[in-house]
Structure 1
């Protein structure tokens, strides 16, 4: 019994492979735009992916399912929020009397919140495609 997995995450996380877990055990890693098949032992299994400890939804899969891994909208929102935060911080540092210590403190605080949020929100989304579509 097999399950097909397709990675379609776009540019987000493109630089490294995503670990695929089946029933909590890591079975393989999948690269960007890659398609692979895994063998499941029972009629059903719990599928999850992770990259650098990021969170995502768990999906129950059955024989013949095709699962697509995509980037969650929160990933992009967090990335662009960090970008805007950094730009605002740089602008305020040049236009006000923000000291170097305060600047570094705000910058570190922003990065801690940014990277910490990847453990709180779903970075990737697993979606079971229509089984009639076999690509």
Structure 2
């Protein structure tokens, strides 16, 4: 048998997870302090000092005073990241499809000129081979 009862093991795990939860909350608050664009330098310094010197009081006061804004800032940041990702994907997709679209447009124009009789068969074949070679 062991000298460490099951209840003590449970309580030890509970305290460990509460300790981890506390540090996650502390880092989330500190990250939000520095991420906030509306908060000035002195405000950031004051909140950081309060959170570091009196961590429990500082974190709970911060959550009460600015907790609602934390969620709004997180949503805005996620939306900004999503918008940047979407614009990057659009840009990358347009760079890969542009040459094909340009070739297709040029071939369509050449076919139109050839159909209207503006260029001869030899000129059409020569221009077509140039477009396809590029």
TM-score calculated relative to the size of structure 2:
0.27
TM-score calculated relative to the size of structure 1:
0.27
More strand by percentage? 1
The structure showing larger relative contact order (alpha-carbon pairs under 8 Å, at least 6 residues apart) is: 1
Which protein is bigger by CA-based radius of gyration? Answer: 2
